[in-house]
A and B are shown apart, each in its own frame.
Chain A
Amino acid sequence: MSASLQRGLNAFREAINAPVATFFNSCVHCGMCAQACHFYTETGDPRYTPIHKLEPLRRVWKQEYTFWGRYAKAFGLSKPITDAELEEWETLVYDSCTLCGRCSMVCPVGNDITYMIRRMREGMAASGHAPEGLVGATRRAITTGSPMGVKLPALQAQIRDVEQETGLKIPVDVNGADYMLLLSSMEIMNFPEFIGAVARIFDRTGVSWTISSAAFEATNSGIQIGVSDLAAELVQRVVSAAEHLQVKNVISPECGHAYMAIRWEGPNLVGKAFNFKVVHILELLDDLRKQGRLKVSSKELQKLTYHDPCQISRRGGVVQQPRNLLDMVAQNFVEMPDTGTMNWCCGAGGGVSTNERADELRMKAFKRKQTQLNAIQPDALVSACSNCRIQLEEGLEVNGMDIPVLSLTETIAAHLADD
């Protein structure tokens, strides 16, 4: 057995805790998870059945954590897990799963399949069976601070542009600010308007905030690829910066997996509770709205719908806030069928967008979003994740659908009241 396979199997063993073992015990092969997964519904390929993606991990559980399995293994009656097998499963575990969590919502016995895939990726990465794109992104995140290789000078250049455009000062490294804003590289490079929108809203609502030059990247490729050590290092950078600047809160930007990484996985990765709060930008905006500080002077008149980013809504719990905000800013807001915590994923989360090998497949998965949109025919689609936004824009364009994709924060900023 190769050393990397041994490492992978060790990581599989570590991944099997009481919940994972319970879930494997409970599966009755009913197949309902397939119906909840757009990689299955849009391709009809049974290999994309969520529980099947866990087969190697299940075998390790069976061979090492069950009474008969251990005997079967001792007598050479069970098939050992091989490198070839893990190579085959690599595409199932990374390319055809966005960790969206829909399967976990429908499983009749209650298996949290997404939770298992997340843990299984630890073993896949340790055995050297992770997609090249994600390996590169993780390496860049560790060495340059950003999965896209966006360094501080690039951010500074964008900040200068935004300052010129808005006439507002973007606070950097301000000690004792109430809020420290994180950004995804995607926002910095593709949607710098987001920084301007936040600056205008915070200026108008009197929020004390800052960006840290030491840790501005919100995303965490370490989680997506499944290397907890590296994921912890990325989280620690944010923690250190927040502690250094003595901020009370850290804001997760419009990026789903970034929110999952810092809000829910973060403290567990670094092994201690944070001494600051983590809020999603939509949570903060909704709080400001409730306090009467955030007001709009006009409304968006076109027919809008909202795409719930999985990690913000289904796996993150920020479901009602965007709807409250849309009620404030939209004249004609319509829900898609299957919305909120049962929304269909855009098809590119969980590291799929970073994995070029999955490009064709993620466009197939997008077809489900197309069906949802066709049912209500909106004029524009609002969301709160720049990764979703890129995928949605590409999918809409490829399928000849003329529906602009808007950021919720930017939409609110565009209608801000003057006083």
Chain B
Amino acid sequence: MSEQELLQWVRGPAFEAASVIFVIGVLVRLLQTVLLGRSKDLSEARGSEVIGGLRTIFTRSVKHNFQLSTFNLYTMVAGYIFHIGFFVVLLLYAPHILVIDQVMGVSWPSLPTTVVDAVTVVTIVSLLAILVHRLKHPVLRFLSRFQDYFVWVVTILPLITGYLAFHRIGASPPTLIAIHILSVELLMVVFPFTKLIHAFTLFMARYYNGAFAGRRGVES
């Protein structure tokens, strides 16, 4: 397979397959979860479940209930930087917007490539910091299983391969692009079957949590 053939395969059939697995996988997993249902709460409500649920979906991203211990501060700062950085790179880099436009027919303005480049570096550093934390802190080391490290690798790969492709380091541009797209496809395929699914389910989790509290008249 030539370099160009590889790139075409990665952009074509491989991308389609990864997309199908991603979409169907996520849908199946969400349905499997929601369809388990929950029984109606018969206690007399003091407050609104819906308002409480919607409020917690929002507030858990912007306000914290926890005390600012070193651990929490580290987790929070690294977590914010990683998540914001990842979405900036994914959604505000011009070539990415072009792909999204081709697939879904929607587009929006991009950030200058130099900015995206810098954000990529910061995001990679934040992921390294997150890994160091996981390896060093007794609680995180204790909780971590193979999947936690595997998902970390799958998440950092698109950032690193994207950075290398942009700076044309280590191989010819088509090969670098092909490797970058492959790493994204790996992320998409792994996504529905690992904790990466939290990107979708966390909104449901926060809703349930906030609704439970809201019914009791508590802001969670």
Partner of B205, one of A26, A40, A272: A26
Closest A residue to B193 by CB, please name it.
A68
Once the chains are docked, how many angstroms separate the CA of A27 from the CA of B202? 8
The A/B interface has a contact count, at CB < 8 Å, of 172
- List residues of B (36-83) whose CB comes within 8 Å of A's CBs: 36-39, 41-44, 46-47, 56-57, 60, 64-67, 69, 71-72, 75, 79
Is the CB–CB distance between B64 and A106 below 8 Å?
yes
Is the CB–CB distance between A338 and B67 below 8 Å?
yes
- Stretch from A74-82, A172-180, A315-323, A352-360 that touches the partner: A315-323
Q: Using Cβ atoms and an 8 Å threshold, which residues of chain A touch B138?
A: 44, 46
Is the CB–CB distance between B32 and A66 below 8 Å?
yes
Once the chains are docked, how many angstroms separate the CA of A338 from the CA of B65? 9
Interface: A399 (CB within 8 A): no
Query: Using an 8 Å CB-CB cutoff, how does the interface string of B179-220 with A read, 1 for contact, 0 for none?
Result: 000000000000001010110011011111110100011111
With A68-B193, A317-B46 as known contacts, state yes or no: A112 contacts B212, CB within 8 Å. yes
Q: Using Cβ atoms and an 8 Å threshold, which residues of chain B touch A28?
A: 195, 198
With A65-B32, A67-B28, A268-B42 as known contacts, state yes or no: A34 contacts B204, CB within 8 Å. no
Closest A residue to B59 by CB, please name it.
A110
Is the CB–CB distance between A18 and B71 below 8 Å?
no
Interface: B103 (CB within 8 A): no
Is the CB–CB distance between A108 and B60 below 8 Å?
yes
- Stretch from B11-19, B107-115, B141-149, B166-174 that touches the partner: B141-149
Query: Using an 8 Å CB-CB cutoff, how does the interface string of A253-269 with B read, 1 for contact, 0 for none?
Result: 00000000001111110
- List residues of B (112-159) whose CB comes within 8 Å of A's CBs: 137-145, 148
Is the CB–CB distance between A110 and B65 below 8 Å?
no
Is the CB–CB distance between B44 and A274 below 8 Å?
yes
Cβ distance A39 to chain B, nearest Cβ, rounded Å: 12
Is the CB–CB distance between A315 and B29 below 8 Å?
no
Q: Using Cβ atoms and an 8 Å threshold, which residues of chain B touch A44?
A: 138
Cβ distance B57 to chain A, nearest Cβ, rounded Å: 8
Interface residues of B, dominant DSSP:
helix
Q: Using Cβ atoms and an 8 Å threshold, which residues of chain B touch A248?
A: none
Query: Using an 8 Å CB-CB cutoff, how does the interface string of A95-132 with B read, 1 for contact, 0 for none?
Result: 00000000011111111100100000000000000000
Closest B residue to A55 by CB, please name it.
B143
With A110-B209, A268-B43, A317-B218 as known contacts, state yes or no: A31 contacts B65, CB within 8 Å. no
Interface: B35 (CB within 8 A): yes
Q: Using Cβ atoms and an 8 Å threshold, which residues of chain A touch B141?
A: 46
Once the chains are docked, how many angstroms separate the CA of A67 from the CA of B33? 11
Interface: B1 (CB within 8 A): no
Closest A residue to B141 by CB, please name it.
A46
Interface: A21 (CB within 8 A): yes
Once the chains are docked, how many angstroms separate the CA of A65 from the CA of B66? 32
Once the chains are docked, how many angstroms separate the CA of A104 from the CA of B216? 14
Interface: B34 (CB within 8 A): yes
Q: Using Cβ atoms and an 8 Å threshold, which residues of chain B touch A302?
A: none
Cβ distance A117 to chain B, nearest Cβ, rounded Å: 14
Is the CB–CB distance between A22 and B205 below 8 Å?
yes
Partner of B75, one of A32, A273, A342: A32
Cβ distance A51 to chain B, nearest Cβ, rounded Å: 7
Closest A residue to B143 by CB, please name it.
A29
With A110-B205, A110-B210 as known contacts, state yes or no: A29 contacts B140, CB within 8 Å. yes
Once the chains are docked, how many angstroms separate the CA of A237 from the CA of B29? 42
Partner of B71, one of A35, A66, A104, A271: A35
With A22-B201, A30-B75, A267-B42 as known contacts, state yes or no: A317 contacts B139, CB within 8 Å. no
Q: Using Cβ atoms and an 8 Å threshold, which residues of chain A touch B216?
A: 264, 315-317
With A26-B202, A65-B36, A271-B42 as known contacts, state yes or no: A35 contacts B69, CB within 8 Å. yes
Is the CB–CB distance between B36 and A29 below 8 Å?
no
Q: Using Cβ atoms and an 8 Å threshold, which residues of chain A touch B43?
A: 263-268, 273
Once the chains are docked, how many angstroms separate the CA of A34 from the CA of B201? 21
With A105-B65, A108-B79, A109-B206 as known contacts, state yes or no: A25 contacts B46, CB within 8 Å. no
Is the CB–CB distance between B56 and A110 below 8 Å?
yes
Q: Using Cβ atoms and an 8 Å threshold, which residues of chain A touch B212?
A: 19, 112, 115
Once the chains are docked, how many angstroms separate the CA of A22 from the CA of B204? 7
Interface: A23 (CB within 8 A): yes
Once the chains are docked, how many angstroms separate the CA of A27 from the CA of B218? 23
Given A35-B67, A341-B220, 9 more contacts at CB 8 Å? A22-B34, A29-B145, A29-B148, A108-B60, A110-B56, A110-B210, A263-B43, A273-B43, A278-B44
Question: Can you spell out 20 A-B residue pairs with CB atoms less than 8 angstroms apart?
Answer: A17-B36, A18-B36, A18-B204, A19-B208, A25-B33, A26-B202, A27-B195, A30-B75, A31-B143, A51-B143, A65-B32, A109-B198, A110-B202, A110-B206, A110-B209, A115-B212, A268-B39, A274-B44, A315-B216, A317-B217
